[in-house]
A and B are shown apart, each in its own frame.
Chain A
Amino acid sequence: MAGTRPGRLRRLEPVAFLWIALIAALLVLVAAPLLKLLLVSFEMQETGEFTFQNYLTAYGRQRYLDALRNSLLLGMLSAAISVVIAVPMAWAVSRTDMPGKGFTWATVLAAFIMPPYLGAIGWILLAGPNSGWINQVWRAATGAEAPLVNIYTFTGMAFVIALHSFPLVFIFVKSALDLISSEMEDAANILGGGTWTTMRKVTLPLVWPSILGSFILIFLETIALFGTPAIIGIPARINVVTTQLWQFFEDPVRVEVAAAYAIPLLLITVGLIAVQKMLLSRKGFVSQTGKGGERRQVKLGPWRWVLFGWCLAVAMLAVVKPLMVLLQASFAKAWGRGFSFDNLTLRNYRFLLFEHDMAPQATWNTVWFSAASATIAAVLALLVAYIVIRRLMRLADALGFLAMAPFVIPGIVMAIGFYAAYAGPPLSLYGSALLIILAFAARFLPIAYANSQAAIRAVHPEMEEAARILGSGRLHAIRRVTAPLLKTSLLGGWLVVFIVASRELSAAIFLVGPRTRTMSVLLYDLTEQGNFEVVSAFGGILLLITMAIVGIGMKLVGRDFMLRRE
Chain B
Amino acid sequence: MPRLVLSGLTKAYGPLAVVDKVDLTLGEGEFVSLLGPSGCGKTTTLRMIAGFVDPTAGSISVDGTVLSAPGAVVPPERRGMSMIFQSYAIWPNMTVEENVAFGLQLRKLPREEVKHRVAEMLAVVKLDKLAHRYPAELSGGQQQRVALARAIVVKPSVLLLDEPLSNLDANLREEMRFEIRRLHDEFRITTVYVTHDQAEAMATSDRIAVMNAGRIEQVDAPHLLYARPRTRFVAGFVGRTNLLEARVASGTLLLDGVSLGPAAQARLPDGALLISLRPQAMAIHEARPAGDGLVLEATIVERTYLGEAWDYVVQPEGTSLRLRAAAPPLEAHDVGRKVWLAVDARQVAVVE
Contacts and interface: CB of A to CB of B under 8 A. Distances in A.
B78 A287 contact: no
A201 B99 CA distance: 11
B93 A186 contact: no
A551 interface: no
Interface of A: 181, 183-184, 186-194, 197, 201-202, 205-206, 208, 282-293
Interface stretch (B79-87, B176-184, B217-225): B79-87
B141 to A, nearest CB: 12
27 contacts: A184-B91, A186-B52, A187-B83, A187-B89, A189-B75, A190-B82, A190-B160, A191-B102, A191-B106, A191-B150, A193-B106, A194-B75, A283-B92, A284-B134, A284-B137, A285-B92, A285-B93, A287-B87, A287-B89, A288-B90, A289-B87, A291-B86, A291-B87, A291-B166, A291-B167, A292-B86, A292-B163
B92 A288 contact: yes
B103 interface: yes
B123 interface: no
B129 interface: no
B270 to A, nearest CB: 51
A192 B93 CA distance: 19
Contacts of A287: 87, 89, 92
Contacts of A208: 93
A191 B93 contact: no
B77 A183 contact: no
A208 B150 CA distance: 23
A193 B167 CA distance: 26
A372 B186 CA distance: 71
Sorted from nearest, which 7 A-B pairs have the closest CB atoms?
A284-B136, A292-B86, A292-B87, A191-B103, A183-B89, A284-B92, A187-B89
B292 to A, nearest CB: 54
Contacts of B136: 283-284, 288
B92 A181 contact: no
Given A191-B154, A192-B107, A289-B167, A183 B102 contact: no
Contacts of B167: 289, 291-292
Interface in B128-184: 134-137, 140, 143, 150-151, 154, 160, 162-163, 166-167
A189 B47 CA distance: 12
A197 B87 contact: no
**What size tier do the contact residues of chain B reach?**
35 or more
Binding site of B, secondary structure by majority: helix, strand, loop or mixed? loop
A289 B166 CA distance: 11
Contacts of B89: 181, 183-184, 186-187, 287, 292
Contacts of B83: 186-187, 190
Nearest to A197: B106
Interface hub of B77, B107, B160 (most chain A Cβ within 10 A): B77
A183 to B, nearest CB: 4
A188 B136 CA distance: 19
A190 B162 CA distance: 13
A286 B136 CA distance: 9
Nearest to A194: B77
A202 B93 CA distance: 8
Given A287-B92, A291-B167, A187 B85 contact: yes
A188 B103 CA distance: 8
A390 B79 CA distance: 52
B226 interface: no
B310 interface: no
Contacts of B31: none
Interface in B5-31: none
Given A184-B91, A191-B150, A289-B167, A282 B134 contact: yes
Contact of B135 (A191, A288, A291): A288
B312 interface: no
B16 to A, nearest CB: 18
B300 to A, nearest CB: 43
Nearest to B136: A284
B88 interface: yes
A287 B147 CA distance: 13
A286 B135 CA distance: 10
A111 to B, nearest CB: 30
Given A205-B93, A283-B134, A189 B77 contact: yes
A358 B173 CA distance: 73
B241 to A, nearest CB: 30
B50 to A, nearest CB: 6
A194 B181 CA distance: 30
Contacts of B87: 181, 183, 287-293
Contacts of A193: 77, 102, 106
B348 to A, nearest CB: 40
A188 B76 CA distance: 9
A288 B77 contact: no
A190 B50 contact: yes
Given A202-B91, A291-B86, A192 B134 contact: no
Contacts of A183: 85-87, 89
A191 B102 CA distance: 8
B79 to A, nearest CB: 7
B88 to A, nearest CB: 6
Given A192-B77, A282-B134, A284-B93, 17 more contacts: A186-B85, A186-B89, A187-B90, A188-B91, A190-B76, A190-B81, A191-B103, A191-B106, A192-B106, A283-B93, A288-B143, A289-B87, A289-B88, A289-B167, A291-B86, A291-B166, A293-B87
Contacts of B51: 189-190
Contacts of A288: 87-88, 90, 92, 135-136, 143
Nearest to B160: A190
A186 B92 contact: no
B38 to A, nearest CB: 12
A188 B77 CA distance: 8
B193 to A, nearest CB: 15
Nearest to B103: A191
B110 to A, nearest CB: 16
A181 B136 CA distance: 16
Interface in B24-50: 50
Contacts of A284: 92-93, 134-137
